[in-house]
């Protein structure tokens, strides 16, 4: 499998973030046209989506780095497996915090 160049990956992520932001702004514009009640609902949905999406993206990137380093450490010393799993769990907890924030935002 061909590895992506760093600049290509960053430009793809920037294009995705721009398209998501523009889609969200269009939704907010339509909500303002409908009235004040719809505006609050769409802002909640946009905030909840951003909270979970950014947390999941950050956890995925972090898990890639921690997983690669963890596999290298386990291959050198198999006794390190339990410590690597602890670090992987710490990185994945970021996504769980994002889910919790999403539910807090939607619950208000």
Is 1 a residue whose pLDDT tops 70?
no
User: How large is the average pLDDT for residues 26-53?
Assistant: 70
- Is 65 inside a domain boundary? yes
List the domain range (segments joined by +) for residue 87: 6-107
Is 62 a residue whose pLDDT tops 70?
yes
Number of structural domains (the chain) is 1
pLDDT value at position 37? Answer: 58
Predicted TM-score (pTM) of the model is 0.61
Radius of gyration of the chain measured on its C-alpha atoms: 19
Largest CA distance in the chain: 62
pLDDT value at position 38? Answer: 56
Is 21 a residue whose pLDDT tops 80?
no
- Is 17 inside a domain boundary? yes
> Which CATH number belongs to the domain containing residue 19 in this structure?
1.20.20.10
Q: Which position has the higher pLDDT, 12 or 22? A: 12
- Is 1 inside a domain boundary? no
């Amino acid at each position: 499998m061909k590895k992506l160049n760093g600049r290509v990956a960053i430009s793809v992520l920037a294009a995705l973030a721009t398209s998501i932001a523009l889609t969200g702004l269009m939704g907010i514009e339509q909500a303002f046209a409908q009235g004040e009640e719809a505006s609050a609902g769409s802002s909640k949905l946009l905030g909840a989506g951003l909270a979970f999406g950014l947390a999941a993206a950050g956890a995925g990137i972090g898990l890639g780095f921690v997983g690669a380093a963890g596999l290298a450490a386990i291959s050198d010393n198999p006794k390190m497996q339990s410590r690597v799993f602890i670090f992987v769990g710490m990185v994945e907890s970021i996504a769980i915090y994002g889910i919790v924030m999403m539910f807090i935002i939607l619950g208000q």
